[in-house]
Amino acid sequence: MARIILFGGHGKIALLAEPLLTERGDSVTAVIRNPDHADDVRATGAEPLVADIEQLDVAELERLIAGHDAVVWSAGAGGGNPERTRAVDLDAAVRTMDAAERSGVRRYVMVSYFRSSRDHGVDPGDSFFAYAEAKAAADEHLRASSLDWTVLGPSRLTLDPGTGRIDTAADRSGSVPRADVAAVIAAVLADDSTVGRTIRFNSGDTPIPEAVAAAHA
């Protein structure tokens, strides 16, 4: 049984990942900002923890993370305000990485997006630019850390039912159900061969455990 702390615990992907993890016997602490979301989280089998990650410093985050076996970052500002996007998608994310290092919790799974890269190519005038910049910098910080990291790069997210199958070989972004992203989170946490790898994926034909095991960095 793994003890997992998941940031962004009331997000659409998180609410699909939490029951997959708890049903297999993992213990999940789901960090949420709004206490009104606690019952939704408990219904998945996870334990809600109300905390505002924008306000917590590294020492405070270290206390939250300590005692767990893995960190999953699935939080996000949701676009819109560039300052808040940077505050959550970059600054808060980086603080959790630094806190994980300080607490000795080495396993860290980042939910990013398919095109995340310093060479993302998004026009500075595009409303998506702030997010692209923040995610690229956060992913880079994680890769440079001493953590046992995995960066997940799902393509355009849909609300379609999960298929349990993905494609990690495509070099162009397509789409993928959020339910399958949740299943990928669960799969990489159970597969140490995914440490130190960036896994970009679309919907596909390969069963998820097989696909993540074979994915190249």
pLDDT digits (tens, 9 = 90+) for 18-31: 999 999 999 999 99
Task: Inform me whether the pLDDT recorded for 217 exceeds 60.
Answer: no
Quickly state the pLDDT bin for 216 (edges 50, 70, 90).
low
Domains and CATH numbers, the chain: 3-214 (3.40.50.720)
Q: Are 202 and 181 in contact (CB under 8 A)?
A: no
Task: Inform me whether the pLDDT recorded for 67 exceeds 60.
Answer: yes
Task: Inform me whether the pLDDT recorded for 77 exceeds 80.
Answer: no
Supply the pLDDT for residue 80: 67
- Beta-carbon contacts of 177 under 8 Å, excluding residues fewer than 6 positions away, are 157, 158, 159, 160, 161, 162, 163, 203
pTM: 0.96
Phi and psi based region of residue 193 (left: phi greater than 0; alpha: psi -120 to 50; beta: remaining): alpha
